[in-house]
Structure 1
Amino acid sequence: MRRTQVNLVMRRNRDKQVATQAAASPLCQASDRLKSSWRKSRRAALLAVLLGATSITSVGCSVMDRIKDGPHDTKASYHDDAAMRIEYPEVQQCATAPAEAAQQATEPLALEDPSQVPSFELTLEQAIQLAVQQSPVLRSIGGTVVSNPQGTSTTFDPALAHANPLSGTEAALSAFDAQFSQQLFWSNVDQPQNVAINPVIAAFTPTTLQESHGTYIAELSKQTAQGARFALRHNVDYNHSNRPNRAFRSDFVGFLEAEYRQPLMQGAGTTFNRIAGPNSGIGQYNGVLIARVNEDVALADFEAAVLNLVADVEQAYWDLSLGYRVLEANVKGRDAALQTFQYQQVRLEAGAGRSDEEAQAQSQYYQFRAQVESSLGGPEGLYAREQRLRYLIGLPATDGRLLKPTTTPTDVRVVFDWESALGQALSRRVEIRRQRFNTKRREMELTAARLNRRPRLDFLGKYRFRGLGDKLIGDGDNGEFDNLYGDITGGNFQEWQAGVEMDFPVGLRAASVAVAHATLNLRRERAVLAETELRVSHDLSDAARQIMLTHQLLETNYNRYLADQRQVDVLRRRYRDGTDNINFLLQAQRQVVTSEAEFYRSLTNYNLAIRDFHRQKGSLLAYNQVQLAEGQWAAGAYQDAYETGRHLTPRRNPGNVSVPAPLTTGPFDPSAPQAESFITAPATDAMLESNPPSHPAAKPTEPAAE
C-alpha cells in the first residue's frame, strides 16, 4: 500500500510539473512528456519531491521539449519500478539470549503499584556478573548500538585485530612464509618461412617451420628475518622442431638453480624487518612488531569498553536504589498531605476551618500525588531506571518482575592514601597504557625510517646445474644427453654467479622526508602522553575531592532531614491545637520530603564518587571483582602450541646472546587487586545524635572492602 501511495505522489507531481511547463509557453503545448535523453533528470526531480523538496519551478521550454517522441519514449521501463524499491534482506540469525530477551518483553509498567509487582532481588555483584556474561556486545546506558552499530565495542574486537588479513600479527608473519609457484604452458608453431633446404631451388620451394613447445617453471623461495631471500628454481623447456642441423628432433633443456640475496644496507637486519616488514616501501610499516602493537591497542580499547560497562552498571544500580528511596519519600509526603487535607475537610465541615486552608491542603496533596506519579513512571522514575539496568544486564524490558537492589550503600568515610593512588593511576590507567603503546609504535617507526635512509646494496649469489636430453627421464643406457634429469644430476654443466647490486635515488629525498615525518609523529605522541598523564592526575584529584564533598553533604543532608522531621512534628501539634497557620505545616511537609530525597541522593552520589575514584586510579575492575581472560582456543591450537614449545628452549647464557630490545616490560593484569591504603572513619556525632530514618543506609555500617 505504501509503495502505491509513493507512486501516486510522484505521478501527481510529475503531471503538475508538465502542466506548468506547458502553460508557460505556447511552444510546449505539444510536449506533454519528457524525452528519453533527459529521463534521468526527471527521475532526480521526482526523487527530490519524494524526499521533501518544496517545489520545482520551470519557466518556458527548452530545445529538448520541441523534439518529437522516439519509438521507445512511450514504453514503460523496468528501471522505473525497480530503481527505488525498498526490500528486506535475508540473513541468518542465531537464537541468542539478547534476541530471545527482545522477543519476550511484556507490556511495560507505567503507574502500577510496585508493592503489587513480584520483585527480583539483585545484588551489585550479581548485576555486574550478568552484564559481562550475557552478551558479546558491551552495552552502554545510551544504547548507541542502534544509531552507531559499527562503533559498538564487542568481545570480538581483539580477535578481529589479531585476524586482520592486512594489519594483524599473522598477516605480518605471512611475509616470512615459504612461497611456491609453478607454471606449465604448451604452444605450437606452424609458420611458413622464406628459407629453402636446397639453395638451388630456393626461389620455388619455401619451407614451413613446425614446432611444439612446452615450458615448466617451479620456484620455492623463503624470506628471512635478516632480510635475506633464498630461492630454489627448476626450469624445463621442451622443443619438438623440424629445424635442420639438430641432433635430436625433440629435446629437453633445463636447469636447477639456487639463489641467495642478502641486503647489506637498506632492508638489512632483524630490527628493520620486524618493524617495517620485508620489501616494504618508504613510509610503510607493516612488520610483526607494529602488528603486535596494534593488537595491544585493540586490547586496551576492549578493556576501556569493559570499564565503561562496569561503571554504567554501577551507575544504573545505584540510580535504581535512589529511585526507590525518592518514590518512598514522595509517597510519605503524599500520605501526610492527604491526612492534612482530610483533617482540614473535617474542620471545615465542623465550622472550625477555613475554605482557603482546605484548598491549600488539597493543592499540596495533588502536588505530591503528581510527584509520586512522576517518580514512578517518569523519564527519571522508578520504572525507567529499572529498565536501564535491565538493558545493561541483558534482561527483557519487562517480564512481570521488578528488580530490587539489595546491596547496602556505603556511608562510612573512606580516605585514600594520595601518593599510592596517584602512583597507581599513572601506571594502571588503560588510557595511559594505550598511549604508551602508540608512542612505542612511533619510536619503532622512527628507527625503521632511519634504517631505510640508506642506499640499496644487495649481495647476490647463484649456482646452476644445466642439462640437455633427448628424453625427460630415462635409464641412461644411450650415453650422454640421453635424458634431462640424468644430465643435470651428473653435474657436467655447472654455472655460478656472484656480485653486488646497488640502487638508490640521488639525495634520498623520500627517505629523508619519512624520517622527518616519523620524528614529528613521535614528538606528537610523547606530547599527548605527557598531557594524558597530567589529565589523569587532575581527574584523580577531582575524584578525591568529590569523595570528601559527597560524604560531607551526606552528613549535612542527614542532619537537615532530622531537623525537618522535628519541625513537622512540632508544627503539626501547633496546627491541630489551633495556635499556628496551616501554611507553616504545608511548607514543612514539602521541606521534609525534599530533605529526605536529598539525603538519599547524597548517599548515592557518595557511592558513585567512590566508584569514580577507583575508575580514575585504574582499579575499578579489581574493585568490582571483574577479571579479563582469553577465551577458549580452537581444538587443535593447544596441540600446535605444545609441539611448537618442544622446540623452544631457554637461553642458558643470555648475556652471550645478542637479542633485540623487548617490546614490553612484561605481563600486566588490570584486574589484579592492589594494596589499598585507606582509612574508614565512623559516622560523626551529628549523625548519631538522634534516631536515623528507617533505612539501613542511614545507620553506621562496617567499612566497605576496597
Structure 2
Amino acid sequence: MSLFANKLNRRNLRPCVRSERSSFQCFAKTSLAVALILLVATTGCRSSYHWRKTVANDTSSVQPISKRVDEPRVEIMQAALTSAPITVRDRERIESLQYQNLSLREVLEIAVQNSEVLREIGGVALKNPDTVQTQFNSALRETDPRYGMEAALSAFDAQLATTAYFNKKDQTFNNPFFSGGTNTFQQDLNDYTMELSKRTATGSRLALRGVTNYDSNNAPSNTFRSAWDTYVEGEIRQPLLQGGGLEFNRIAGPGSTPGVYNGLLIARVNNDISQTDFEVSVRDYVSNVVNSYWDLYFAYRDLDARTHAMKRSLIAWNQIRARAENDLESEARAALASEQYFRFKAEVDDALTGRIVQGTQNRNGSTGGTLRGSSGVQVAERRLRLLIGMTINGDELIRPNEDPSEAEVIFYWDTVMQEALMRRPELRRQQLSIHKRQMELLAARNFLNPRLDSVGRYRFRGFGDDLVASSGQSSSLGNLATGDLQEWYVGVEYTVPLGYRKGHLAVSNAEMLLTRDRAVLREQEREVVHDLSNAIADAARAFEACQNAVSRLEAANNVLRAYETQIKNDLEVDIDRQLDAQRRVVEAEIRYYQSRTEYAVALKNVHLEKGSLMGYADLRILDGIVPVIKETVVLSETTPPGGETSGNDGTIPETHATDASAMDESSADSAPVE
C-alpha cells in the first residue's frame, strides 16, 4: 500500500482533477501504479521466462512438438538396439559361444541397477503402459497437484487478491435530482481492492482487506470535486457446526462436499497406500527375477542331461553298427539305436534354443510362481536379460553358477502364520484402506449438521480530497490514521438442508465402504493363510521329490552300467532294454534337477507368502524409491532354541521366524523407510 500511496501523491493528483487532460494523466499514472503492484507482488523477476513460454505468443517451443504429432515418427532408443539372435543355423557361433557366469546375488544387483521400470513378463509394458510400475510412482503420488499431500496443504496457503477497476461516465439526465444537481453528469470512478486471506486448520477464514475508491465528478453538491474513500478491514468467518473443527478439516479439507474428501490425513494415507503398492511391485519383480534365474539354471541342466544322453546313444549306435555283419536283426537293432539318437538330437536342439512358452512367473499357479521348466536355454536367457535390463542378445550367454540348496528347511507353522499376517504388504495396504474409510465416515457425519457460521468484521475508514496530503482533512489516509471513523459488523449465517438427504447418503455410503473393506481384509487373511499352507506343503513335497529323484537317478545309472558291462564282456543284451535304460537315465537326471529347482522356487515362495522375500533376497527399500543390495549376506536362518532339525549331508536346515533378531532385521529390510 505504501508503493501505491507514493505513486498517487497530492502533487500528481490535484492537477489531474481540474481538467480533462490532467484527468487522463491521472488515469494513466494510476493504471501504471496498479500494474506495478500486481507484477511485483505476485510474479517477481524470476517468472519472466515462464511468462514468455506460457502466456506470451511465442510458439517456438510447441512447434516442433506439433510437427511430431502431425508427422508421427517413433523415437528409437539406444537401449533397444542389439545384435542378431543366435539360431540353430549358426552352428559355428554356437560352438564358439562364451559364457558369463553369474550368481543369483549378482543378477539381483544388475536388476536393481536397471530397475527404473519394474518389468513384468507378458508384454504388460506394450499392452497397458499406464499400469506399469516404476520407481517414479511414489514421487508421482507425492507431486500430484490434485490428491498429493502438498495439494492438500495448499488449501491452507495464504491468498493475495488484488483488483483494480476504472470507470468513465458522461451522461445527460432529464432531471438534475438524479445526478446531484446537474443535467450533464461527468464522472471518473476508480476502485482498488487488495486482500490477504488464509484458511486455518479449524476451518475459519481470516482476511485483511484494503479498499480505496476514487470519485471525481461535477455534482455541485459535493464537498470535494474529487474525493478518496479508503478503508481497511479485518474479517473472520468461523464455521461452528458443518465444516468446522480440526478433525474434519484435516480429513476432508476446507470446502469439501459429501463423498469428496481430500484433506491432509486422506492424502497421507493415499501416499502410504501408493508406497505399499510400490513395495508389492518390487517384491513381485524380485520374485520374477529369481524365477527366471532358476528357469535358466534348469534349462542348462536339461541341456546337459540331453546332450549326455545323445552322446551315449551315438556310442551305442556305433557299437551296434560295428557288430552288424549284414544281419537283418542287427540292422533292425542299429535302426532302433539311430532312431533314439536322432530323437535325443532333436531334444538337444529344443533344449538349446527353446520353445516360446510361458516360463515360471508370478501367479501361474501360486503367488510366487510354480516352476514350468519348459523353456530352452536361449529363450530363458533372453527372458532373464529382459527382466534385469541387459541387452536382449549379448555376445556372451548368461550362465548361473549357483546351485539350489539341498538342505532341508523346516518352517514352524504358528510362527510363520503370524509373521505372514503381520508382514504381508497386501494386508497392510488393506488395513490402510480401512483407516481411510474410518476417517471418511467421520467426515461424512459432519454433513449431518446444519451450516452455522459466525462472521465478524471490523473496519477503519478514511475520507479526503487527496489520497496522501500533509493536512489531515484533505488526506484520506491521514484521516484513516486518526481512527476517528470505525465500523464493526457481527452476525451469523445459518443454512440447513431439510431432511439431510445428501448427508445421510454420504454416511450410508461411507459405512458400506468400511464394511466392504473389512470383509475384504478377512478374506485376504484367509487367502494368505491358504497360499502359505500351499507354499509350505509344496516345499516339503519338493524336498522329498529331491530325495526320491536321487535314488531314482542312482538306480537308473546302475541299470545302464550293468548293461554296458555286459556289452563290454560280449554278452548279449536286448537292444530295447539298453535303449530304455538310456532313456530312464536322462529322464531321472532331468527329474532330479527339476526337483532341486522346484525346491529352490518353493523356498522362495514360502518367504514371499510370509512377507520376508526382500530380506531373503538380501534387499531393502529406501524411501520407497529403489531397492538396494544389503552389505551383509545372510544365507541361512538360525535353528530355534530346543528345536530338533535334520538336514541333508549334515547341513543345518533353515528355520526362519523363530530367531527374533533375524525376524526384526528382515522386517526392517522389507519395509519402506518413512
TM range, smaller chain: 0.7 to 0.9
**How far, CA to CA, are the matches of 1:215 and 1:86 in structure 2?**
47
SS of equivalent to 1:328: helix
What is the CA–CA distance in structure 1 between the aligned matches of 2:485 and 2:545, rounded to whole Å? Answer: 96
Give yes or no for the alignment of 1:338 onto 2:318.
no
Q: 1:700 to 1:568 in 2, by over 3 A?
A: farther
Q: Please state if 1:102 is matched with 2:102.
A: no
Compute the displacement of 1:702 (Å). Answer: 6.5
SS across alignment from 2:432:
helix
* Aligned mates of 2:108, 2:79 — CA distance in 1: 18
Residues 213-233 of structure 1, C-alpha deviations (whole Å, 9 max, x = no match): 111011111111111111111
Q: Is the 8 A contact 1:102 1:396 kept in 2?
A: yes
The 3 A distance-change label for structure 1 pair 531 and 403 is: same
Please state whether the residue corresponding to 1:136 is helix, strand or coil.
coil
Cα-to-partner distance string for 1:205-249 (whole Å, 9 max, x where unaligned): 982211111110111111111111111111111111011201111
Pair 1:672–1:592, CA change in 2 (3 A):
closer
What displacement does 1:348 show? 1.5
**Other-structure match for 1:386:** 381
Match of 1:162?
Answer: 142
Match of 1:123 in 2: 103
Which of these residues, 226, 233, 237, is aligned with residue 250 of structure 1?
226
2: CA distance, partners of 1:274 / 1:334? 73
Q: 2:118 aligns with which of 126, 138, 144?
A: 138
Q: Aligned residues, how many? A: 557
Cα distance between partner residues in 2 of 1:375 and 1:283: 58
Specify the SS of the correspondent of 1:510.
helix
Structure 2 residue matching 1:542: 3-state secondary structure? helix
Query: In the alignment, what sits opposite 1:181?
Result: 161
SS at match of 1:390: helix
Match of 1:236 among 193, 212, 224: 212
Residues 463 and 495 in structure 1, CA contact (< 8 A), matched pair in contact too: yes
Q: Distance in 1 between matches of 2:596 and 2:623?
A: 37
Secondary structure at the counterpart of residue 499 of structure 1: strand
Aligned mate of 1:296, from 257, 272, 275 = 272
Which residues of 2 match residues 451-600 of structure 1 at below 5 A?
A: 451-476=446-471, 479-480=472-473, 482-575=474-567, 577-600=570-593
What secondary structure does 1:413 align onto?
coil
Deviation of residue 346 (structure 1)? 1.1
Q: Structure 1 residue 512: deviation in Å?
A: 0.9
Contact conserved, 1:282 with 1:510, CA < 8 A, in 2? yes
Instruction: Answer whether contact 2:646 2:652 (CA < 8 A) is retained.
Output: no
Deviation at 1:568, TM superposition (A): 1.0
Native 8 Å contact 2:637 2:655 kept in 1:
no
State the Cα distance separating 1:386 from its structure 2 match: 0.8
Residue 190 of structure 1 aligns with which residue?
170
Residue in structure 1 matched with residue 331 of structure 2 by the alignment? 355
Cα offset, 1:703, TM superposition:
4.9
Indicate conservation of the 8 Å contact 1:390/1:397, yes or no.
Answer: yes
> Which ranges of structure 2 fall in alignment gaps of 5 or more residues?
1-67, 356-374, 657-674
Secondary structure of the corresponding residue to residue 461 of structure 1:
strand
Off by >4 Å, runs of 4+ in structure 1: 85-88, 90-93, 109-115, 350-353, 671-680, 699-706
Q: Distance in 1 between matches of 2:82 and 2:620?
A: 31
Indicate the residue corresponding to 2:368 in structure 1. none
8 Å CA contact 1:132, 1:138 repeated in 2: no
Whether the 8 Å CA contact 1:194–1:207 is kept in 2: the answer is: yes
Query: Does 2:69 match 1:89?
Result: no
Per-residue deviation, residues 246-279 of structure 1 (Å, max 9, x unmatched): 1111111121110111111111111100000011
3-state SS of paired residue (1:585): helix
CA 1:676 to 1:521, structure 2 compared with 1: closer, same or farther past 3 Å? farther
AA partner of residue 414 (structure 1)? V
Q: Does structure 1 retain, via aligned residues, the 8 Å contact 2:423–2:612?
A: yes
Q: 1:306 to 1:219 in 2, by over 3 A?
A: same
Residue aligned with 1:185, SS:
strand
- Give me the identity figure in percent: 38
C-alpha RMSD of matched pairs (Å): 2.6
In the other structure, the counterpart of 1:681 is 646
| Structure 1 residue ranges without an equivalent (≥5) | 1-84, 94-98, 200-204, 634-668, 684-698
Q: Secondary structure at the match of 1:218?
A: strand
Amino acid across the alignment from 1:247: T
User: 1:114–1:402: 8 Å Cα contact kept in structure 2?
Assistant: no
Specify the SS of the correspondent of 1:145: helix
Query: Residue 675 and residue 398 in structure 1: after superposition, are their counterparts in 2 closer, same or farther (change >3 A)?
Result: closer
* Contact in 1 for aligned 2:455/2:490 (Cα 8 Å): yes
**1:18 aligns to what?**
none
Aligned to 2:237: 261
**Is residue 410 from structure 1 mapped to residue 405 from structure 2 by the alignment?**
yes
Residue 616 of structure 2: aligned partner: 623
Instruction: Quote the Cα distance in structure 1 between the aligned partners of 2:637 and 2:487.
Output: 72
**CA-CA distance at 1:498 after TM superposition:** 1.5
AA aligned to 1:265 is L
Please give the per-residue CA displacement for 1:107-151, whole angstroms capped at 9, x wherever unaligned: 435465766311111110111111122131111232311221111
- Please give the per-residue CA displacement for 1:396-415, whole angstroms capped at 9, x wherever unaligned: 11221011111221011100
Aligned to 1:660: none
Q: Is the 8 A contact 2:202 2:245 kept in 1?
A: yes
Superimposed CA distance per residue, residues 89-112 of structure 1 (whole angstroms, 9 cap, x where no aligned partner): 36888xxxxx44322444435465
TM-score by length of 2: 0.79
Amino acid in structure 1 at the alignment position of 2:292:
A
Is the Cα–Cα contact under 8 Å of residues 267 and 273 in structure 1 kept in the other structure?
Answer: yes
> Which among 203, 218, 225 is matched to residue 201 of structure 2?
225
Contact 2:138/2:625 (CA < 8 Å) preserved in 1?
no
> In structure 1, the residue corresponding to 2:539 is in which secondary structure?
helix
Which runs of structure 2 are paired with 1:303-322 in the superposition (5 Å)? Answer: 303-322=279-298
- Aligned equivalents of 2:156, 2:131: Cα separation in 1: 33
User: Residue 194 of structure 1 contacts residue 206 of structure 1 at CA under 8 Å; is this kept in 2?
Assistant: no
Question: Residue 3 of structure 1 corresponds to which residue in structure 2?
Answer: none
Q: CA offsets, 1:573-610, max 9 Å, x none?
A: 34563433101111111111011001100000000000
1:383 deviates by: 0.7
Alpha-carbon distance between aligned partners in 1 of 2:128 and 2:523, rounded to the nearest angstrom: 29
Distance 1:341 1:391 in 2: 41
**What are the within-5 Å matches in structure 2 for residues 19-30 of structure 1?**
none
Is 2:266 the counterpart of 1:281?
no
Cα displacement string for residues 440-492 of structure 1 (whole angstroms, at most 9, x for unaligned residues): 1000000111122101111111101111111111112xx42x11111111111
Distance 1:701 1:329, change over 3 A: farther
Q: Tell me the residue number matched to 1:426.
A: 421
The answer to whether residue 350 in structure 2 is matched with residue 374 in structure 1 is yes
In 2: Cα distance, 1:621 partner to 1:676 partner: 18
Equivalent residue of 2:409, what SS? strand
Q: What SS class does the counterpart of residue 253 from structure 1 fall into?
A: strand
Deviation at 1:681, TM superposition (A): 2.5
